[in-house]
Amino acid sequence: MRYTLKIWIGKKKSCQKGQALIFALVVIVCLAFIVLWNYDLHKILRVKIMSQNAGDAAALAAARWQAIFLNLAGDLNIMQAIALDSGDIETLSTISNLQARLCFVGPMIAFMASQQAAKNNGAYINEEFTRYLLDHANEVRNNYSRTFGSNGEQLFVEPYEGCWREYAEMLETIADNGIAAGPDNAQFYTDYSGGHYLLMPDFYDAVAGKIWCWFYNNALELLENYRNFQPCWWSPLPEITRKVRINSEIFSLCLDKLECKFPSSYFTELVDAASSRNFSAVPSTNFLKETTVWYIYDPEKWTEWESINPNGLNAFPAIGPVKPQYNYTGADAATRVEAISKRLFSSGNQNIEDTIVWTAAAKAFGCLEGNLPPTACPVVLPVFHNVRLIPIDTSSAPYGGGYNIAWRKHIAEHLPEYMINGPPTTTDCWYCQQLIQWEDESFRQSGIDWLKENSHLCTLPSYGGGRRGGGTRRGH
């Protein structure tokens, strides 16, 4: 009996040891999953912080150089006044030539500085960004001088002889060093000018997210009246119009030139600017009688900063109105950094990658005496002394971003075909997928029905709460 009992007790202890081993294995597996998940989480956060630092640094570096070259344009205007005062005609010609090149060389130096700032803050070279810039450089060199409008006129006339060749070479030089931060407010001469729903990424975002308030505030007639693609319901895409282009497509200074007399009411400001910049000579009032070409702020670009006006139609939710010395648009810099974070913890045999995107914008600020905005004097003066980050939605970054390659591919390749044949049956293009969804009549009707009951939710207060109308994935 004792022997039998002893055997039974031994079996019981052995069974308990097996259960403890299984429990320990379960705990180890759970801990391994937690460790891997925690590693992935911290890696994503690290990549996000790195991308934010790189994007902010790139935008600030570009805007700082924009400020430098805006001041240099103002210095050259002062030098022109001094040359006019002394009757130095030869110097006037040299100054005019310098100013013409300044509008391209300045932004290219800003572009180069932004890349170095991004790399110094941990951003890696983006092969797709680099390839796109090289392709564009080839387009500038080979096609810009050969692009004609419907009436046979040359669309892109060189602002000075050899401009397109020099511009293409500068773009290639920057691309050869690799692009880490894409210029997200790049506006190429071949871009559409906008004014069409199919050129608004907000439209695609609203379709994807069923953001019916966007349609209520921006395109209610489109939602209610659209029937089907065939025959093509959409109006034609806008044509590229001929325009004298004197600014770089990337980080533009947004300047224009005008043949006129210097406005005499701002003679004091010019003299003060000359003194603050330590000019050895100061012009007298004699040059005010002369008419010549001055570099001025482009009146279409340097306007009131309406996008951050809290009482504006699509205003950024600012706390209050912008002070006069900051209340102007114009030259600014927006950048895009895209980074990949690979996960260790994934389901199955798939290698999951997270794409981290950060967009940032910065702008140069300055003022005349009395806290007047620099644009109070239409002629550029060297008064820019500060650079700040600004919300991306208040910058000149176009819809979807100037360096959102997927969007640019959709606009350049997919949209023209869509305008002829309608939406494709299957596609990998996210924007095309939204056009397929848009064709579903029941989908559009669901939006109309929702607005009948809930349109009162689409009206936001003047202050705070987000961008009016919804449909945007940016705001910082």
The model's pLDDT over 443-476, given as tens digits with 9 standing for 90+, comes to 999 999 999 998 888 875 544 444 444 444 455 6
Query: Among 253-262, 313-322, 396-405, 422-431, whose mean pLDDT is lowest?
Result: 313-322
Is the confidence at residue 1, as pLDDT, over 50?
no
- Range 385-392 average pLDDT: 93
User: With bands split at pLDDT 50, 70 and 90, how would you rate the model's confidence at 5?
Assistant: very low
Tell me the β-bridge partners of 334: 361
> How confident is the model over 277-331, as pLDDT tens digits?
888 888 888 889 889 999 999 999 999 998 887 776 666 777 778 888 899 999 9
Is the confidence at residue 411, as pLDDT, over 50?
yes
CA–centroid distance for 204 within its chain: 18
What single-letter amino acid sits at 353? E
- Range 336-341 average pLDDT: 84
Q: Which residues of 213-234 are buried (b: 16+ CB within 10 A; e: fewer)?
A: bbbbbbbbeebeebeebeeeee
What residues contact residue 319 under an 8 Å CB cut-off, 6+ apart? Answer: 310, 463, 464
- Range 405-410 average pLDDT: 89
> How confident is the model over 44-72, as pLDDT tens digits?
777 788 889 999 999 999 999 999 999 99
Average pLDDT, the chain: 85
Q: Which pLDDT does position 46 carry in this prediction?
A: 79
User: With bands split at pLDDT 50, 70 and 90, how would you rate the model's confidence at 38?
Assistant: low
Give the helix ranges, DSSP H, for 87-157. Answer: 89-120, 127-143
> How confident is the model over 151-191, as pLDDT tens digits?
778 888 899 999 999 999 999 999 999 999 999 999 898 88
Nearest residue to 282 via CA among 94, 93, 85 = 85
Is the confidence at residue 425, as pLDDT, over 80?
yes
Is the confidence at residue 110, as pLDDT, over 90?
yes
Is the confidence at residue 219, as pLDDT, over 60?
yes
Q: Which pLDDT does position 40 carry in this prediction?
A: 64
DSSP letter at 333 equals E
- Range 132-136 average pLDDT: 94
Give the rounded percent of residues in the chain with a pLDDT score beyond 90: 50
Is the confidence at residue 197, as pLDDT, over 60?
yes
- Range 361-390 average pLDDT: 93
Element (H, E) at 260: strand 255-261
Strands 291-297 and 384-390 turn out to be unpaired
Query: Among 11-20, 169-178, 376-385, 400-409, whose mean pLDDT is lowest?
Result: 11-20
Nearest residue to 473 via CA among 94, 205, 113 = 205
Question: Own/partner pairs for 404-411, CB < 8 Å, 24+ apart?
Answer: 404/184, 404/201, 404/336, 405/128, 405/129, 405/132, 406/430, 406/431, 407/201, 407/431, 408/132, 411/192, 411/199
pTM score of the predicted model: 0.82
Give the helix ranges, DSSP H, for 255-403. Answer: 267-276
Q: Which residues of 135-144 are buried (b: 16+ CB within 10 A; e: fewer)?
A: ebbebbbeeb
Query: Among 153-162, 269-278, 342-351, whose mean pLDDT is lowest?
Result: 342-351
Peptide bond into 373 cis (omega under 30): no
- Range 218-224 average pLDDT: 91
Per the structure block, which two tokens stand in for 138?
């080839």
